[in-house]
Amino acid sequence: MFTGIVTDIGRIRSRTRPAGSDTRFEIGTAYDTAGIAIGASIACSGVCLTVVETGPDWFAVQASDETLSCTTLGDWREGRRINLERALRAQDELGGHIVAGHVDTIGRAVSREPASGSEVFRFAVDRAFGRFIASKGSVAVDGVSLTVNAVDDGEDDAVTGFSVNLIPHTLAMTTLGDLQQGGAINLEVDLMARYVQRMLAVGPASGEVSA
């Protein structure tokens, strides 16, 4: 599990596809890789990936074809900057919200506009996932925990729009500062919203009495 608080910006050193294996990414990092165990989980721009090898200033992960097709990893190339977060430990501060590292869908940046000292980003996602997004609720965009300003279902039955405010610190300390109109994002909805939606869809369990 993660919290959506980015602690390093990594850079893709290489992307390879060994024969008979999944795609392998080597990621440069400022983390002390001596303290990263093989098999550890690291959120890479919101995608929980397993460490398969480490070096002095890098670690390697593998991604299946399914992961490449359902996230922005399919577009990752050498030199790309990505958000990194180590897995949550029991004693760590929960500064964002509970993030699983399981991307729900790929969204798009619709616009980016200044607003006082911050910037307002508007995103568009498939309507099937828009039902899990609520004003003042939480979402993870490329692994960054953000609070939703507003939600707009608009006139397009296939798309939900939502906006967030990003302060200068967030823009500087994550890759969201690089994001421009039309850019693809990994989106993970709030874990609790999924369960609430499921409960509403299924209804009360057998033997329970509705209020």
pLDDT averages per 10-residue partition of the chain, 211 residues: 96 94 97 97 98 98 96 97 93 84 96 94 93 93 97 82 96 97 96 75 60 47
| pLDDT value of residue 196 | 76
| pLDDT value of residue 208 | 54
| pLDDT value of residue 85 | 98
3-state secondary structure the chain: CECCCCCEEEEEEEEECCCCCCEEEEEECCCCHHHCCCCCEEEECCEEEEEEEEECCEEEEEECHHHHHHCHHHHCCCCCEEEEEECCCCCCCCCCCCECCCCCEEEEEEEEEEECCEEEEEEEEEHHHHCCCCCCCEEEECCEEEEEEEEECCCCCCEEEEEEEECHHHHHHCHHHHCCCCCEEEEEECHHHHHHHHHHHHCCCCCCCCC
| pLDDT value of residue 206 | 57
Domain(s) of CATH 2.40.30.20: residues in the chain: 8-86, 105-199
CATH 2.40.30.20 fits 8-86, yes or no: yes
CA distance 144 to 114: 19
CA distance 98 to 182: 27
pTM: 0.90
CA distance 144 to 146: 6
- Which residues partner with 39 through β-bridges? none
| pLDDT value of residue 211 | 47
CB neighbours of 30 closer than 8 A, spacing ≥ 6?
Answer: 8, 57
| pLDDT value of residue 207 | 55
- Which residues partner with 41 through β-bridges? 50
CATH pick for 105-199 out of 1.10.287.90, 2.40.30.20, 2.60.40.1250, 3.40.50.720: 2.40.30.20
CA distance 199 to 189: 16
